[in-house]
A and B are shown apart, each in its own frame.
Chain A
Amino acid sequence: MCLAVPGRILEVEGTKGRVDFNGIGREADLTLVPDVEPGDYVLVHAGFAIQKLDEAEAQETLKLFGELAEALEKDGRRSDDSAERDDPADGESS
Chain B
Amino acid sequence: MTGGIDFAAFRSEPAANALVGRITSLLKRAGGTPENPIALMEVCGTHTVAISRYGLRTMLPPGLRLLSGPGCPVCVTPLIEIDRSIAAATVPDVIVATFGDMMRVPGSHRSLESVRADGADVRIVYSPMDALETARRNPKKLVVFLGVGFETTSPIIAATLVAAAREGISNFTVLPFFKTVPAALDMLAAVPGRPLDGFICPGHVSVIIGSDAYLPVARDRNIPCVVTGFEPLDILAGIVMLLEQIVAIREATGSAGVAVQYSRAVTPEGNTTAQGLMDDVFAVYDAEWRGIGVVPATGQTLSKKYEMFDATKRLKIDVPEPEGERGCICGEIMLGRNLPPDCPHFGAACTPRSPVGPCMVSTEGSCAAFYKYEQSWRSEGPDGTEAE
- Using a CB–CB cutoff of 8 Å, the interface residues on chain A facing chain B are 1-4, 6, 8, 29, 31-34, 38-39, 41, 43, 45-48, 50-51, 53-55, 57-62, 64-66, 68-69, 71-73
Contacts and interface: CB of A to CB of B under 8 A. Distances in A.
A3 B46 CA distance: 6
B40 to A, nearest CB: 18
A69 B14 contact: yes
B10 interface: yes
Interface stretch (B183-191, B203-211, B250-258, B352-360): B203-211
A4 B152 contact: yes
Contacts of B234: 61
19 contacts: A1-B73, A1-B149, A2-B153, A8-B1, A29-B156, A43-B204, A46-B126, A47-B128, A48-B156, A50-B152, A50-B156, A53-B265, A54-B263, A55-B3, A55-B4, A65-B237, A66-B9, A71-B18, A72-B17
B212 interface: no
B153 A43 contact: no
B204 A4 contact: yes
B292 to A, nearest CB: 17
Contact of B156 (A8, A46, A71, A72): A46
A50 B266 CA distance: 11
B177 to A, nearest CB: 12
| CB-based closest 6 A-B pairs | A47-B127, A69-B14, A72-B18, A68-B18, A58-B264, A65-B15
Contacts of B18: 65, 68-69, 71-72
A24 B204 CA distance: 22
Contacts of B208: 50-51
B273 A47 contact: no
B interface bracket (residues with beta carbon within 8 Å of A): 35 or more
Contacts of A41: 5
B126 A50 contact: no
A46 B99 contact: yes
Given A65-B15, A69-B15, A32 B271 contact: yes
A9 B372 CA distance: 34
Given A4-B204, A54-B264, 20 more contacts: A1-B73, A1-B74, A1-B148, A1-B150, A1-B362, A1-B364, A2-B152, A2-B204, A3-B46, A6-B5, A8-B4, A32-B277, A46-B156, A48-B127, A51-B207, A53-B265, A54-B265, A59-B5, A62-B10, A68-B15
A50 B155 contact: yes
B5 A46 contact: no
A4 B234 CA distance: 15
Interface string B29-62: 0000000000000001110000000000000000
Contact of A72 (B14, B148, B265, B277): B14
A66 B9 CA distance: 9
Contact of A51 (B21, B46, B271, B277): B271
B308 interface: no
Nearest to A65: B15
B104 interface: no
Contact of A45 (B15, B45, B204): B204
A62 B233 CA distance: 9
B233 A65 contact: yes
A41 B126 CA distance: 21
A66 B129 contact: no
B87 interface: no
A2 B99 CA distance: 12
A28 to B, nearest CB: 9
B22 interface: yes
Contacts of B130: 47
B12 interface: yes
Nearest to A56: B264
Contacts of A66: 9, 12, 15
